[in-house]
Chain A
Amino acid sequence: MKKYLKFIQISFNNGLAYRVEYFVGTFRNLVILLVQLAVWKALLTAGPVTTGSGVVTLREMTTYVVISSMIGTLLTVDVIFNMNDRIRNGQIGMDLVKPVNFQTYTFCNMLGQNMFSFLFQLLPILVIGVIFVGIELPSIFNFLLFLVTLINAIVIMFQMNYALGLVAFWYMRGWQSTIVWILNRLFSGRYIPLWFFPPILVTISYFLPLRLMYFVPISIYLGTMAPLDCLYSILQQFAWMLVLYGMTRLMWRAAIKKLVIQGG
């Protein structure tokens, strides 16, 4: 157990070596946030808008994008990139020799990064969001539920990335990150809430776990989700976690078999 804590610590310290990249990332997030705030201000100048799920005000959208941005800092990790890299140049051999569970090891690495991101990317956005933008603050109950869904989201995101990372054992072109990014843009509610989606896209998004990582937590935060729906969503999160866990186990076993047989 202690060794895993050590991994998290090492990963966090690693962040310091890359602090320039983190700062640039924070800057990027702020720019994108600024753009989104301006866009929604322009779209909602005429006043709140009615959707199938209720009325959406400018303040709600403002809060939405800020929270989404903060979630983004925790869910953007380079798990796929690292795995691709290590599998491609054979370093994975070194990792497999170590007496650790590779999946847990990768997870700890991610946690270290997350902690660093939390301090240097999420907090700045939070400060700006509260002081300069004036976001809505949730009720205690909603906030707690929000945290639960957020933690689940981090786990699901990891599992998804890990599964896609394992693909590198078979196919090394490295487009997995692109696919995740594209799907995130369209189906997660990260940039545009599902309230505004045309019905087809909403239907598709129900088959993917992505909306459970952005749209659902944010909706809970804003209090726009009925309590039953909240419960239902959390159950869905757990369901996805189980499914993905099973998938990664199967893939891992197949990958090891392939590695042992094929070598390089």
Chain B
Amino acid sequence: MPIIKVDNLYKEYHQRKGREGLTGAFKDLFNRQFKTVKAVDGVSFSIEKGEIVGYIGPNGAGKSTTIKMLIGILVPSSGKIDVNGIEPYKHRELNAKRIGVVFGQRTQLWWDIPVSETLSLMRYIYDVPEQQYLENLKIFSDILGLDKFYHTPVRQLSLGQRMRADISCALLHNPDILYLDEPTIGLDVVVKERIREFIREVNKSRNTTIILATHDMSDIERLSSRVMVVNSGKIMYDGNLNTLKRRYGTEETIVADLLGRIDDTSELKSMGVDKIIYDNNKITIKYDSVKINSSTVVRWLVEKVETKDISITVTPIEDVIRKMYAARN
């Protein structure tokens, strides 16, 4: 029995189409023309409890729209969604109790008060028993380092801290399902890693179903084996991530500014990296992500030397999709 089942989901927006010129504007006053935009165009899938599913696609592909409908804050134009036995938009409050949401672009915390106050308010809103509350706080402190900024007002937090606080907030009441919409956007590599590790841990220990919508492939790599590729409101691929990578695009590049020296890079070479350019304080590593994982490379690097700045360029999802289209024709 899947925990989420989506059947033939459609979401259409009617945008006003403005006609050209002065006479056009005049005509518009009497007879408005509309353009129908299909944000979600016939999407169907099902997700079992405990799965981690990546929902990947370029900006504007319809990811956020689908997530909002799954959460229950947006009403579909047609089609059926079943989450935990109920239709989310019809029973919004009931559904809300069992899910946690993190939107990367917006915070759910109150702006002027400390993180601690937001969390204790959430505790009351979701009726979290005291023991569970304290247990969770401890886990958040241990793995996410929440205790370091627990008493800081939210507006003084860095982006990474704010994101960690948002995740703590979303998981405080032990939801069945966790929805993440671009959770690592704008974060530096090290913080991203920490968060991904935490999410994997939550999934393992609590069997929480995790839906991760993003346009960054490296987000999904470490987390899920199943990925759905969406473009223009349609699902183009629903299956194993590695299979996808092997088929369509796997070269990645890591560039890092170093504060120390690496004496021996041969170890990295033996791990399966394609090319290393080591120049004074800068190292560029090119590799095939099917052979070796970006996080593995990063971890090796961080263990060997102190780094100032690390950036990873993956095959952008747009290229993957383009190759997918090309392959189909």
Direct contact of A and B (CB under 8 A): no
Chain A residues within CB distance 8 Å of chain B:
none
